[in-house]
Amino acid sequence: MVRVRFAPSPTGYLHVGGARTALFNWLYARHTGGTFILRIEDTDKERSTDASIDEILASLTWLGIDWDEYYRQTDRTDAHLEAAELLMSKGLAYEHEGAWWFRVPTEGQTVVGDELLGDVSYPNDQLKDFAIRRSDGSFLYNFVVVVDDADMGITHIIRGDEHLNNTPKQILLYRGLDRPVPRFLHVPLILGEDRSRLSKRHGDTAVLEYRDRGYLPEALVNFIVRLGWSHGDDEVFSRDELTELFTLEGINKSAAVFEEAKLRWLNQQHLKRADLDRLVDLVEPHVLTRGNVSEEMWGEADLDRLKTGADLLRDRSHTLGDLGWAMEMLFPVPLVAQDEIEITDAQAELLGGLAEILPDVEPFTPDRIETAIRDGLAARGAKLKDIALACRIAVTGRKAGPGLFDILSPIGPDLVAERLLGFAEGKAG
Ligand code: GLU
């Protein structure tokens, strides 16, 4: 039975790199029907904070990563002491200046049989004895991680390759403690677009910041998993598809490159697939934060109208922020005109004419709107193409967007008429 873990040190935010480690382990557990363990490695008392633990838990929860077992390393001090005493009693560790040191063999080599990288050999004489317990009685990472992983029956350790050089020491500890050595898989690091190590400058930002920037959790999950894992040429995966398809064989040997444009594109793909009720809920704060639509206006708006509007406007939105901005056009607030157009007096008159007939269209559906507009224009000897662009800009503030009749429908007859008139008058004036 697969047992894997994510073992963050609570010394800051959960970043993209950490989230990837969590995801690979979680997906592997879910794919195999195994167990995913969350272990907070808080033995470094000076740097660990409760706020960081809260942030990590909130980030994982937002990403939809659930855990089957939860531990805090500091709750396990007795087990750590017992294991350290065992090494002392076997002569495998010794005390020096109050600290306890693990004795590394001076000959031979320790081989890390990595699932991805193959065998990586470390001459033992280069590893040197290392401390397992400080003189203040606290324990060090390489030691506690082994005691915990052994006690928790971890079968596979999947983590970033910055830990590769710790692994031979950890293997020696497993052997010293007479515990089975788990399998290791070290995932190549993530690079920024300039091919240097990913940093905050490149987008290695806190996971929850992506939420605030209007990304969907399933899009971020998709993006992060693709940083180092692939399945043919496929790009867009739902959470269920990922759990179904994820295997360790799909993890890539070469470093992944973080491309912000790809994240935006993936978010657009997931926005298109999102359930509409959920999408409307998710976009609400992004509309309200703009400060034009009040909470009251939002609350009073007809849900079907919001859903229709969101459905039409999501195609051109990369983030919930984009969608929130676009959805303002559904509310009686001044339009942020993205595009402008000059119109003739004749066109202004036609817009005014449409403003008169549209409030009588019942129900205000795309079909009925189309018929009314075409008939109204025909009666005045005009055609749709004479006025379509002006009409669109008057009502939506921009020249591109969903089908004209489609988008007029959720905006509603009164608002459409008001905007047409205001636009026509403004131009005439
Ligand atoms: N607490 C370690 C870290 O955050 C865990 C490393 C490991 O997975 O063994 O880097």
Going 203 to 209 to 214 to 219, the CA torsion angle's sign is: positive
* Amino acid at the residue 253: K
Report the 10 Å Cβ neighbour count for 147.
24
**pLDDT for the residue 204:** 79
**pLDDT for the residue 182:** 98
Reported as type and span, the H/E element at residue 3 is strand 3-6
Task: Confirm if 193 and 186 have CB atoms less than 8 A apart.
Answer: no
Atom nearest to 166 CA in ligand 1: 9
Tokens of 348: 């202004």
* Catalytic annotation present for 200: yes
For the residues 317-345, what does the mean pLDDT come to? 95
For the residues 285-289, what does the mean pLDDT come to? 97
Task: Confirm if 5 and 149 have CB atoms less than 8 A apart.
Answer: yes
Q: Write the residue with the smallest CA distance to atom 5 of ligand 1.
A: 7
Model confidence at 347: pLDDT above 60 = yes
* Amino acid at the residue 7: A
Residue 386 to residues 88, 200, 248, 393, 413, Cα–Cα distance (Å) = 90, 51, 59, 13, 21
Nearest Cα neighbor of 364 from 324, 330, 413 is 413
CATH number of 200-270: 1.10.1160.10
* Measured torsion, CA atoms of residues 360, 415, 345, 386, in degrees rounded to the nearest 10: -70
Q: What are phi and psi of 384, to 5 degrees?
A: -55, -40
Tokens of 199: 């940093």
For the residues 94-106, what does the mean pLDDT come to? 97
**Is the Cβ atom of 274 under 6 angstroms away from ligand 1?**
no
Could you report the per-residue pLDDT of 213-247, keeping only the tens digit for each?
Answer: 999 999 999 999 999 999 999 999 999 999 999 99
**Is the Cβ atom of 9 under 6 angstroms away from ligand 1?**
yes
Is CATH 3.40.50.2020 correct for 345-427? Answer: no
Could you report the per-residue pLDDT of 160-205, keeping only the tens digit for each?
Answer: 999 999 999 999 999 999 999 999 999 999 999 888 888 877 777 8
* Catalytic-role residue among 200, 253, 272, 399: 200
Pairing assessment for the beta strands 35-40 and 190-191 based on DSSP bridges: unpaired
Percent of the chain at pLDDT exceeding 70: 100
Tokens of 168: 């031979």
Q: ∠ CA 104-109-113 to the nearest 5 degrees?
A: 110
Pocket test for ligand 1, best of 6, 41, 48 (most atoms within 8 A of CB): 41
For the residues 381-404, what does the mean pLDDT come to? 96
**pLDDT for the residue 203:** 72
Nearest Cα neighbor of 357 from 329, 382, 337, 326 is 382
Percent of the chain at pLDDT exceeding 90: 94
Model confidence at 429: pLDDT above 60 = no
CATH number of 76-187: 3.40.50.620
**pLDDT for the residue 428:** 60
